[in-house]
């Protein structure tokens, strides 16, 4: 398993993967030495994340290899279908997966998403439009949704 640490506007991201694909991206506020060498298996992912944060990429084309249950993988695959700049509710996601009653299980699987940003769990919000639960912290979720918003808020001052 190859590992790289990269700087992002939201903290240091740790990427893990191998020739089969990217298995994990996590973010932290902890001090961490940024990788000076990016392993070949992680090069596409680091390049595409940099483009995303620079505003020049709105979808990812990376081989993914997350570890989870079959149900979690179904939820994560459904997350990949949420368009850039759009949000859905947990209820909407449950309906997409064919079981409205599975809303809690869908929310739990969403919270276990190991591929920060690339599998866009930040695009799932509460039915009332509220920013609910996000493993990376609600401040990061808000930043990501603002970053992806087609309407940029202008400052009055």
Name residue 21's beta-bridge partners. 18
Average pLDDT score over residue span 142-151: 90
Q: Cβ atoms within 10 A of the Cβ of 27, count?
A: 18
Residue 152 pLDDT: 59
**pLDDT category of residue 137 using cuts at 50, 70 and 90:** confident
Residue 153 pLDDT: 58
Angle between the N-to-C axes of helices 103-111 and 70-80, in degrees from 0 to 180, rounded to the nearest 10? 80
- In terms of pLDDT, which residue wins out, 17 or 150? 17
Res. 48: pLDDT tops 80: yes
Using CA atoms, how far apart are residues 126 and 147, in angstroms rounded to an integer? 19
Residue 49 pLDDT: 98
Using CA atoms, how far apart are residues 60 and 51, in angstroms rounded to an integer? 10
Res. 7: pLDDT tops 90: yes
Domains of the chain: 2-54 (3.30.160), 70-148 (1.10.10.10)
Residue 29 pLDDT: 87
Q: Mind giving me the DSSP string for 34-79?
A: PPSS--HHHHHHHHHHHHHHHTS-SS----B-----HHHHHHHHHH
pLDDT tens sequence across 96-134: 999 989 999 999 999 999 999 999 999 999 888 888 878
Task: Identify whether the C-beta of residue 7 lies closer than 8 Å to the C-beta of residue 29.
Answer: no
**pLDDT category of residue 155 using cuts at 50, 70 and 90:** low
Task: Round the average pLDDT of the chain to a whole number and report it.
Answer: 92
Res. 13: pLDDT tops 60: yes
Residue 127 pLDDT: 87
Is position 121 annotated as part of the catalytic site? yes
Instruction: List the catalytic residue out of 4, 121, 124, 125.
Output: 121
Percent of the chain exceeding pLDDT 70 equals 96
Angle at 26 between CA 59 and CA 50, to 5 degrees: 40
Name residue, tokens 């769990």: 121
């Amino acid at each position: 398993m190859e590992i790289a640490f990269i700087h992002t506007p939201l903290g240091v991201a740790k990427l893990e993967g191998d020739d089969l694909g990217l298995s994990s991206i996590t973010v932290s506020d902890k001090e961490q030495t940024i990788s000076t060498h990016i392993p070949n298996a992680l090069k596409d992912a680091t390049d595409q994340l940099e483009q995303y944060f620079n505003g020049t990429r709105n979808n990812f084309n990376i081989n993914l290899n997350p570890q989870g249950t079959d149900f979690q993988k179904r939820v994560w695959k459904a997350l990949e279908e949420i368009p850039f700049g759009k949000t859905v509710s947990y209820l909407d996601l449950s309906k997409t997966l064919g079981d409205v009653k599975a809303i809690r299980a869908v929310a739990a699987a969403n919270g276990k998403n190991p591929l920060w940003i690339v599998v866009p769990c930040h695009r799932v919000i509460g039915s009332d439009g509220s920013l609910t639960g996000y493993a990376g912290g609600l401040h990061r979720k808000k930043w990501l949704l603002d970053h992806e918003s087609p309407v940029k808020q202008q400052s009055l001052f």
